[in-house]
Every structure is written in C-alpha cells, then in structure tokens.
Amino acid sequence: MNLKTLKDLIELIKGTDIVELEWTPERIHIVRGIKPQAEKMERSEARAGTASQDKPTVTVTSPLVGTFYRSASPETQPFVQVGDRVTKGQCLCVIEAMKLMNEIESHVDGIVNAILRQDGERVGYGDPLFIIEEL
C-alpha cells in the first residue's frame, strides 16, 4: 500500500463510527464504535427502572484490558442475554487478551438487566460490562 492510498483510506473513515481498522494482505478487520457511554447508561437505567426499584444491582467490570466477546465463537449463541437469570460463577462473556480467552463470571445470583458492551469491542480495566439485579 502506498502513502496516497493510506491517506485516501483515512479520509474515507473520518466522520464514521469506525474505531479500529486492521488491514493485512489476507483480510480486513474493522471495529465500529458504539453510542456514547451516557446513552448506554440511560438505556440500562430505563431497563432497570422497569424492574423492581428496591432490588440492588451489581455492575460487573472488566478485570483486564482486551477484546469483549459475548460468545465462545461467532457460530455459537451468546453466554447471556438481557433478562436471563444467572448464578454466581456462571460465565457471562470472554475477554481476549494476548491471544488468551479469559472467562468473566457473575459475582452474584441475579437477572441480567443490561449488557453495556458490544461484541468485539475493546475494553479496559474497570470498564463496566454488565448490570445484574441481585436476587
């Protein structure tokens, strides 16, 4: 790829929601961004508002930096969906870090109120991933 092609590509993705682009001779990997955190939190609070107001919620956060995946592979179903009942120790997602898949488990028994990340999104240490209503 020459410099002109690279500059043209950068101009094309300016103003889009693309946050990551990896281009090799064999493949192109594109990661699209998501809505700002405030909007996601408003949606999750709205969903949580439909549940009982007196039940406590727990926010599951990322214990490491990596890439968030809702399922074990693209061909399989997500580990959990909004509204699913989960038990303490149940796998909620995986985070890939340095080519290792790390299972993230629920800390409590409860119901998934919100999933705050999209499949393939990069996450950092302490980023919120799920909101779970304790049972």
Q: What is the pLDDT of residues 92-101, one digit of tens each?
A: 999 999 989 9
The predicted-structure confidence for 114-133, as pLDDT tens digits, reads as follows 999 999 999 998 899 999 99
Per-residue pLDDT at 23 exceeds 70? no
Domain boundaries, the chain: 1-33, 35-134
Beta strands 110-115 and 85-86, pairing class: antiparallel
Question: CA 124, 125, 129: angle at the middle one, nearest 5?
Answer: 75
* Tokens at 93, concatenated: 């997602």
Alpha carbons 95 and 16: distance in angstroms, whole number: 25
Mean pLDDT, the chain, whole residue set: 80
Residue 63: which residues within 8 A CB-CB, separation 6 or more? 95, 102, 104, 125
Percentage, residues of the chain above pLDDT 70: 70
Decide which of 38 and 24 is more confident: 24
pLDDT for 1? 57
Confidence of residue 51 (pLDDT cuts 50, 70, 90): very low
Topology given in CATH for the domain delimited by 35-134: OB fold (Dihydrolipoamide Acetyltransferase, E2P) (2.40.50)
Total-model pTM: 0.61
Confidence of residue 10 (pLDDT cuts 50, 70, 90): confident
Alpha carbons 52 and 44: distance in angstroms, whole number: 14
